[in-house]
Amino acid sequence: MAENNSFNEFDLAEENLFEHFKFEATKGQSPLRVDKFLMNYIENATRNKIQQAATNGNIFVNDVVVKSNYKVKPFDVVRVLLSHPPFENVIIPENIPLDIVFEDDQLLVINKPPGLVVHPGYGNYTGTLVNALAFHFDNLPMNSSERPGLVHRIDKDTSGLLVVAKTEYAMTFLAKQFADKTSEREYICLVWGNVEQDTGTIEGNIDRHVSNRMQMAVYDIDSKKGKPAITHYKVIERLGYVTLVSCKLETGRTHQIRVHMKHIGHTLFNDDRYGGDIILKGTTFTKYKQFVENCFKILPRQALHAKTLGFQHPTTKEFMRFDSVIPSDMQLCID
């Protein structure tokens, strides 16, 4: 029996939605075509859907694209992206508690916990921040993606501050600030290794990885591929095997901090999408190994928190800045 590590993160930047599955073949796995292997472990998966994934280059074994006739071997890690046509959003109000940092008649600022998906997607029709907003607030404005009130988003397993618009005017006013790069966003993250430079700027276009569509990648700024992205970082504390870093964004690309930090050789701690869930060779002494393994359990997600958020208020025109404490799972690893 393969270990099922399927996860529900959905790529809403693409025309279609993709459901991601991950399986690890056991020690006793006998040679089996990967399409049949996946049929055995994905409920309601059809042969046509698996074949379509293979044709589109969306089946990976050990992070390498494979054809449908690849024979799965013991300990192979198999990943697949199954595409689904866009669905009609039917937002179901749900009484999910919200940590509201600030609220007035124009907007609210929320401190999102890790593990909470921001908006519904295929397989995540309920239990999202949008479902919670629909319960607590009536008639929130709809943006171009039919996500009520959302001006921006952060990943499911990233914690931290989000601003939500309560009026159409606030939605337009706030969205323009994010587009014009006049908003302020600071993230705190733990990255593998010792970041040598105290401060730095990472520039590089971000787009889909050429061989792994579950990842983003950095491309040359002069390339026609991807969209420009700029991240400014500053070392807060060096902790031996990891470094605590502050990152300020000029742009807001998908996985921007995660992929930019990996690009300079410092993957986020426990970021399984980008290889941060494995102890980096040469970064830790034997005496730290048990501590690091405990941190993997304490912090079962990428070590990334949206700590500070600043923007101009839609009606008062006052520049407002909000700050949040580092969540306990990250703080325990720092201490």
Q: Do you know the residue count of the chain?
A: 335
DSSP code at position 189: E
Which CATH topology does 3-84 take?
3.10.290
pLDDT in tens, 35-44: 999 988 886 6
pLDDT in tens, 200-228: 999 999 998 877 767 899 999 888 888 99
Nearest CA-CA partner of 160 in 181, 129, 191 = 129
> Which residue in the list 11, 35, 76, 155 is annotated as catalytic?
155
* Sign of the four-CA dihedral 263, 265, 271, 275: positive
Half-sphere exposure of 38 (CA within 13 A, CB side): 33
Confidence at residue 40, expressed as pLDDT on a 0 to 100 scale: 84
Q: Hey, is 23 helix, strand or coil?
A: strand
The superfamily CATH assigns to domain 89-180 is: Pseudouridine synthase (3.30.2350.10)
Identify the H or E element spanning 177: helix 168-180
Rounded distance, CA 261 to CA 64, Å? Answer: 22
Among this protein's residues, is 207 annotated catalytic? no
Rounded distance, CA 56 to CA 67, Å? Answer: 10
Confidence at residue 6, expressed as pLDDT on a 0 to 100 scale: 36
**Tokens 């950095």 sit on residue:** 218
Regions of the chain where pLDDT drops below 50? 1, 3-17, 86-87, 144-146
Distance of CA 218 to the CA centre of its chain: 16
Confidence at residue 17, expressed as pLDDT on a 0 to 100 scale: 47
Confidence at residue 213, expressed as pLDDT on a 0 to 100 scale: 67
Portions of the chain given CATH number 3.10.290.10:
3-84
Confidence at residue 179, expressed as pLDDT on a 0 to 100 scale: 84
Q: Which residues is 240 bridged to in the sheet?
A: none
Determine the residue type at 253: R
Could you give the maximum distance between any two Cα atoms of the chain, in Å?
Answer: 67
Entry pTM: 0.74
Angle between helices 47-55 and 34-41 (to 10 degrees): 130
Burial bucket for residue 316 (CB in 10 Å: 0-12, 13-18, 19+): exposed
Portions of the chain given CATH number 3.30.2350.10:
89-180
Q: Hey, is 155 helix, strand or coil?
A: coil
Confidence at residue 218, expressed as pLDDT on a 0 to 100 scale: 95
Q: Which residues is 24 bridged to in the sheet?
A: 3, 77
